[in-house]
Amino acid sequence: MDASVLIATHNRAGHLRDTLRSLAALSSSAQWEVIVVDNNSRDDTRDVVTAAAETFPVTLRYLFEAEPGKPAALNAAQRLARGDVYVFTDDDARFEVNWLDAALDALRESGGDYVGGKVLPLWGGEPPGWLHNGPGSHWAVLALLDFGSQPLEFGKGIGWPLGVNMAVRRDAILRVGPWDNRFGRQGNTLRGQEQRQWCLRARAVGLRGFYTPHMIVHHVVPAERLTKRYFRRWLYWNGLSRAVLYQNMKLDMESPDDSTLDFSKVPHIAGMPRYMYRSALRSLVGMGKAISRRDAAAAFEHELKLWFFAGALNQRWRTASHQRAAL
């Protein structure tokens, strides 16, 4: 079999139903299947998958995974999958009709071990005025991605693919290993660095991934995410997640993809590299200046950096406290 499309889901049966309808409309000459992993849902997820399977154009399978966490769910799907390529997406995605062929073509043409593409918004509400209309750092909060119209190599001037739109050769997964559930979102948290952590492990063993602009997913952005409260919460959890990544891989929390520092030689305060306090101070000053000139958008961007710092500091303080208690 050419490809297995893998979806982890939790209590989102309504979104999942529409996602499966979109997948059913794909046009592809490949041999493929879909596996939906129910990660402890309490709604009618199983019934949605069972009903869709009756008329689905290819094999559609349901799998239950009790261990909480998206990485654990996707690892369970990989153990069941029969495809030579694992194509990852989410339960709230909509697809261009050539999406699967674009992924497989990109793998063949690039010779890469994995590929990822554009993730464009399907707005569930009117975007607020403080949200810039186009790609930028704020798109990470909404799981959107657009690196332009030309193929590029991930990790060389650009970040990494998003889990809603990524295809990986099976042998790459076998070489790098599965997703690490310590870094994934669980419960009501917004923790999540499993994608970056896997890509960094892949780079460490010599694997390469490529961005392809023709592999396009449209991602639903619910209205409840288009609030400053959600952005603040996401940046706080992003800081916390980067601190967990730092603890396990000693990567720069601010720029983990380009980390070159020897942190055994970097001064720390309360478990945090001292230079991060300087960054936080610059953000605080920048926010004050933006407020004084009545630039609300710039002030909010600086504020979000402070929420990131707060999440990282909280996690590093707790880690340092546990280490001291263990002595």
Last residue of a domain, one of 191, 225, 259: 225
Q: Is residue 79 pLDDT above 90, yes or no?
A: yes
Q: What's the domain range around 60? A: 3-225
Number of structural domains found in the chain:
2
- Tell me how far apart the alpha carbons of residues 184 and 193 are, in angstroms, rounded to a whole number: 6
Q: Is residue 327 pLDDT above 70, yes or no?
A: no
Residues 156 and 245 in one domain: no
Q: What is the pLDDT of residue 318?
A: 86
DSSP 145: B
Last residue of a domain, one of 173, 192, 225: 225
Residues 89 and 218 in one domain: yes
Q: What is the pLDDT of residue 325?
A: 65
Residues 52 and 190 in one domain: yes
Residues 214 and 249 in one domain: no
Residues 266 and 194 in one domain: no
Q: What is the pLDDT of residue 242?
A: 94
Tell me the pLDDT of the chain averaged across its residues: 93
Residues 98 and 238 in one domain: no
Prediction pTM value: 0.91
Residues 115 and 244 in one domain: no
DSSP 257: G
Q: Three-class SS of residue 122?
A: strand
Query: What average pLDDT does the segment 33-53 reach?
Result: 97
Residues 112 and 214 in one domain: yes
Structure token pair of residue 35: 């596996």
Residues 214 and 268 in one domain: no
Nearest alpha carbon to residue 164 among 322, 9, 304: 9
Residues 189 and 255 in one domain: no
